[in-house]
Structure 1
Amino acid sequence: MQSSVYYRKDIQDWEKRWFAQNNSAYGLMQQAAWSLYTQISLIFLEQQQKIGRVAVCCGQGNNAGDGYLVAAYLKQAGFDIDVYAAELGSSENLKTAYQYAEAEGVNIIAGFDFEQNYDCYIDALFGIGLDRALDGYWQGIIYSINDQSALKISIDIPSGLHADTGRALPCAVKADYCFTLLGFKAGLFTGQAKEYTGQLKLLDLIPRDSKLKEMAQLSSLKINLVKRQAFGHKGDYGHVLVVGGHAQMGGAVMMSAEAASSAGAAKVTVVCHGKHHTAILSRAPNLMLRNIDEMKQSDIRELLEQVDAVSFGMGLGRDVWAEQHYLTWFTELNQSNLEVVYDADALWFLAKYPAHLNLNSYATPHPGEAVKLLGKTVDEIESNRVLTIQQLQNRYAGQWVLKGSGSLILQEQLWICTAGNPGMATGGMGDILAGMIASLKAQLHEHIELHQIVTLHALSGDSLAQSGMRGIQAQHMIQAIYKQVNLQ
């Protein structure tokens, strides 16, 4: 099932509307804490090592109130609980939760000098409202928690992680489990989030109202591709054109074309520098070849009439030769009705010659390419990936994928891919994705969405990572893709 994702302010406003209907704020805190206690108790039962001693780390906001109540409920269940606490804030609900924990006999210790080793640390330091860089004091506390070898559980969001951007400020608790409250926040899925969130679960506590607007959807991990008909033939399953391949860079078009074939395209033609033809045929004799230097504009137009989708820019280069070919091909592609993927060096030239892409265009930059396209720094790009992809579409139109951990996909709405792993951070993975997009669009057109293809690519990488992440290479994806598109 697809899941909605929200900005933190929209969740906070939704919560305020709930209280404005005479629902109790403290009652919701109790409900949240009881749900947290129930989930945490189940986790404790699943641990191989018995959980006995638990440290609950409480800050100064409502997140800390949840922590005090969870501590009280765990104490009632017979666990050995210590609360390490900051000075109480002004919230009456927080004070009430503190007093309840104290009345239940919870040992509350001022400060965060952990007095013994614990089996579990529960993080209730900061909630979703944190939007400032943590000072040295709080950084020290978070590093101290992370240094512990015990189980770590975060309430709502790992403390130190920005709820909208997934950016550590500049550090965050590295949780084994995170139970987020009310609704999913974008910062739990993109940017640096995967380093901190661990296993993530939503505790859905109150009904959504009509004023609550989602900012994105999580792309489903279950993708059902349209089945092929028994009487189908190769003319029914798409012809993909892959264009690129500078004299010094032949591997990119090879991998993109092989990915297109493995994803199911019936025919794939590669247009590249002629010196790569022998190598390409030796690897994949099913591919068709054209020499990019021997094609006139009329030849390009004739070829475009024969294909269903194009993957453009892999290994094209950035010299005068590449620039001439880019300008020639882009003019024809952007005026056509074909579905076109712009990747790699095509994006570099798009930044140099800005233009509005047509609706059937799919641009797939990594953060470094987004830097060139928007004239920003890498830090500016990565500090707010959601804003980045929105600015890319506003400037260039078309549909966009901002690659990276928690890849973002912007079509008519924003999608977040939750699959994928660090082993995929290797050269050529983008070429593989570009070939997959062209292939599946050539076959299925409107029957598959861009975010679904990105997810299939990520799931293929995850299947490889089952044997280990270190050393995964882009060419390993070819067989993984073939298996993934045939799982349905």
Structure 2
Amino acid sequence: MNYRPLPDTDRLPYALYRADQVRRLDRLAIEVFGIPGIELMNRAGAVAYRVLRARWPQARRITVLAGTGNNGGDGYVVARLAQADGLAVRVLQLGETDRVRGEAALSLGAYRNAGGVIEAARELPPATDLYVDALLGTGLERPVTGRWAEVIAALNAQRAPVVALDMPSGLHADTGRVMGAAVRASATVSFIGLKLGLFVGAGAQYRGELHFSALDLPARVYAGEILAAARIDWARESRSLPPRSRIAHKGDCGHVLVVGGAPGMSGAARLAGEAALRAGAGLVTVATHPRHAEWLNLDRPELMVSGVESAGDLDALIERADVVAIGPGLGRTDWGRGLWARMRALSRPLVVDADALNLLAETPGCGPDWVLTPHPGEAARLLGVTTAEIESDRLASARRLQERFGGVVVLKGAGTIVRGPAPRLPAVCSQGNPGMATAGAGDVLTGVIAALRAQGLDAEEAARAGVCLHAAAGDRAAHTGERGLIAGDIIAALRGLSNGLDGED
């Protein structure tokens, strides 16, 4: 029978899988669709070899580090192809070759039959142009120790680029957790399905440039597998923004109320308010402490500002607002606590950030129509665990937050996760950069999500689109360098991106 293959594209797929799911897809391709396992291994090695030759065309000396499983089998294919191309190839084996089984053994035999030599991995060669990491792959469930950890440490200490096959060795395929030691790859070539761990946890730090091939599997192989998560980016989420009516007025574009800005923290509320304007809200009011209400909008007169002495002063402002963003610079004094208590008692769509999240952690409750935007530290306080526990499995942490507090959860960080009520898939943003680890960036995100919510998107749509717009704006701002990027640079990029004028990242 002929089946339509799932095409490889220049853009990465949006489907993310756990390691066990990819193994099931692999078995299905072999057992039901009749593709021999050695054929899939040959395809994987050929794809990886094409990537490394295209990316490092000057490399003439290649060292393959091979384990005893199928990941090592892929590495033998790369070695055989490189040798046939006239490159100087060394294969360093970890683990005894007599432990190699199945398709990997066939691949090993093909490499030897072509004249290839396999050496024990005693030490890394002093001169090589490129390494191929074919040690461990996706099946790792226990910490890397002993000789394996030593080799990974030596690999990370040298300067030549490293291409990882399927997953950087030592990185957990589901959580992105470093299992004792992990290879810091210059590039990773992933096969059949993108693994979740490449996008969460430490994945972005260890994977390098990411390439993908479905190995020409029939599309029907994937039909029965429910995704672990969806990858999201601005190229896709921008479609959720409705076009502006030609007869729109500012009231049609939503009114955002930002509540925050205790004494000494007025900048946070100001950043959230300006971000809401740049993300398209028709009206933005900042309800802030009277101490700085008179001058907060001096250089941004488009913002309306109202000084609030106490919670009762909020009522008229809330009545006019479509969405309330609360938390930026709110503080945890009596003033901030009073405003938070008032907002919890009223029914308005909320975006909850910063100190509002810390106050929520003190008196937990469930809200059906709010978006919570914690960073890992705030998430830890909300769940009563450590930050390390949050980061050890970010997807599970987002699920626990959503189940406990309701609404939609945005767990910020590298690979920001958006989690709404089940059975909707969690989403992982694949954009953003380390330059966004800067004061005020979270306040900007709060304003962006609130603005999109005010323009008619539901809570989860606004969270997904807002996270991606914010991340894409951060990437746009980082075109002149990540170091020194400030929150205002992110705001400056919002308008062009939200109108499709700056292209795609």
> Where on the TM-score scale, by shorter chain, does this alignment land: which range?
over 0.9
Residues in 1 aligned to 2:326 and 2:121: alpha-carbon distance in whole angstroms: 58
- Using the TM superposition, give the Cα deviation of residue 92 of structure 1 relative to its aligned residue in structure 2, in angstroms: 2.8
Residues in 1 aligned to 2:284 and 2:350: alpha-carbon distance in whole angstroms: 14
Q: 1:233 aligns with which of 249, 253, 259?
A: 249
Q: 1:419 aligns with which of 431, 434, 440?
A: 431
The residue number in structure 2 matching 1:269 is 285
Residues in 1 aligned to 2:387 and 2:253: alpha-carbon distance in whole angstroms: 39
Residues in 2 aligned to 1:236 and 1:85: alpha-carbon distance in whole angstroms: 65
Q: 2:82 aligns with which of 74, 77, 82?
A: 74
Residues in 1 aligned to 2:458 and 2:199: alpha-carbon distance in whole angstroms: 27
Quick one: which amino acid aligns to residue 426 of structure 1?
Answer: T
SS at match of 1:240: strand
Q: 1:432 aligns with which of 444, 449, 461?
A: 444
Q: 1:108 aligns with which of 96, 115, 118?
A: 118
User: After the TM superposition, which of the residue ranges 125-134 and 201-210 deviates more from structure 2?
Assistant: 201-210
Quick one: which amino acid aligns to residue 260 of structure 2?
Answer: G
SS at match of 1:141: helix
Asked whether the equivalents of residues 452 and 462 of structure 2 are also in contact (C-alpha less than 8 Å), the reply is no
List per-residue Cα deviations over 1:359-407 (Å, max 9, x = no partner).
x311000000001000111111101000000000011110011000011
SS at match of 1:132: coil
Residues in 1 aligned to 2:124 and 2:155: alpha-carbon distance in whole angstroms: 9
TM-score scaled by structure 2?
0.90
Asked whether the equivalents of residues 313 and 344 of structure 1 are also in contact (C-alpha less than 8 Å), the reply is yes
The residue number in structure 1 matching 2:317 is 303
Asked whether the equivalents of residues 11 and 212 of structure 1 are also in contact (C-alpha less than 8 Å), the reply is no
- Using the TM superposition, give the Cα deviation of residue 90 of structure 1 relative to its aligned residue in structure 2, in angstroms: 4.4
Residues in 2 aligned to 1:477 and 1:31: alpha-carbon distance in whole angstroms: 42
Q: 1:449 to 1:282 in 2, by over 3 A?
A: closer
- Using the TM superposition, give the Cα deviation of residue 295 of structure 1 relative to its aligned residue in structure 2, in angstroms: 5.1
- Using the TM superposition, give the Cα deviation of residue 300 of structure 1 relative to its aligned residue in structure 2, in angstroms: 3.7
* Structure 2 unaligned spans of 5+: 1-10
Asked whether the equivalents of residues 311 and 338 of structure 2 are also in contact (C-alpha less than 8 Å), the reply is no
Quick check: 1:341 aligned with 2:351?
Answer: yes
Residues in 2 aligned to 1:188 and 1:216: alpha-carbon distance in whole angstroms: 12
Q: 1:95 to 1:294 in 2, by over 3 A?
A: closer
Residues in 2 aligned to 1:486 and 1:209: alpha-carbon distance in whole angstroms: 35
4+ long deviations beyond 4 Å:
none
User: After the TM superposition, which of the residue ranges 477-486 and 423-432 deviates more from structure 2?
Assistant: 477-486
Quick one: which amino acid aligns to residue 396 of structure 1?
Answer: F
Quick one: which amino acid aligns to residue 215 of structure 1?
Answer: A
The residue number in structure 1 matching 2:127 is 117
Residues in 2 aligned to 1:194 and 1:35: alpha-carbon distance in whole angstroms: 21
Quick one: which amino acid aligns to residue 179 of structure 2?
Answer: L
The residue number in structure 1 matching 2:176 is 166
Q: 1:409 aligns with which of 404, 411, 418?
A: 418
* Structure 1 unaligned spans of 5+: none
Asked whether the equivalents of residues 363 and 400 of structure 1 are also in contact (C-alpha less than 8 Å), the reply is yes
Quick check: 1:188 aligned with 2:198?
Answer: yes
Residues in 1 aligned to 2:340 and 2:315: alpha-carbon distance in whole angstroms: 15
- Using the TM superposition, give the Cα deviation of residue 487 of structure 1 relative to its aligned residue in structure 2, in angstroms: 2.6
User: After the TM superposition, which of the residue ranges 84-93 and 189-198 deviates more from structure 2?
Assistant: 84-93
Asked whether the equivalents of residues 427 and 464 of structure 2 are also in contact (C-alpha less than 8 Å), the reply is yes
Quick one: which amino acid aligns to residue 125 of structure 2?
Answer: E
The residue number in structure 1 matching 2:453 is 441
RMSD value over aligned CA atoms? Answer: 1.8
Q: 1:465 aligns with which of 478, 482, 487?
A: 478
- Using the TM superposition, give the Cα deviation of residue 339 of structure 1 relative to its aligned residue in structure 2, in angstroms: 2.6
The residue number in structure 1 matching 2:5 is none
- Using the TM superposition, give the Cα deviation of residue 477 of structure 1 relative to its aligned residue in structure 2, in angstroms: 2.2
Q: How many residues align?
A: 477
User: After the TM superposition, which of the residue ranges 398-407 and 264-273 deviates more from structure 2?
Assistant: 264-273
The residue number in structure 1 matching 2:269 is 253
User: After the TM superposition, which of the residue ranges 32-41 and 409-418 deviates more from structure 2?
Assistant: 32-41
Q: What are the residue-to-residue correspondences of 1:190-229 with 2, within 5 Å?
A: 190-205=200-215, 206-207=217-218, 208-222=221-235, 223-224=238-239, 225-229=241-245
List per-residue Cα deviations over 1:458-482 (Å, max 9, x = no partner).
1111111111111112233221222
The residue number in structure 1 matching 2:43 is 31
- Using the TM superposition, give the Cα deviation of residue 18 of structure 1 relative to its aligned residue in structure 2, in angstroms: 3.0
TM-score scaled by structure 1?
0.93
The residue number in structure 1 matching 2:406 is 397
The residue number in structure 1 matching 2:28 is 17
Asked whether the equivalents of residues 308 and 314 of structure 2 are also in contact (C-alpha less than 8 Å), the reply is no
Residues in 1 aligned to 2:156 and 2:377: alpha-carbon distance in whole angstroms: 30
Residues in 2 aligned to 1:361 and 1:427: alpha-carbon distance in whole angstroms: 24
Quick one: which amino acid aligns to residue 317 of structure 1?
Answer: G
Q: 1:90 to 1:313 in 2, by over 3 A?
A: same
Residues in 2 aligned to 1:314 and 1:116: alpha-carbon distance in whole angstroms: 53
SS at match of 1:357: coil
Q: 2:60 aligns with which of 30, 52, 56?
A: 52
- Using the TM superposition, give the Cα deviation of residue 136 of structure 1 relative to its aligned residue in structure 2, in angstroms: 3.8
Q: What are the residue-to-residue correspondences of 1:344-383 with 2, within 5 Å?
A: 344-358=354-368, 360-383=369-392
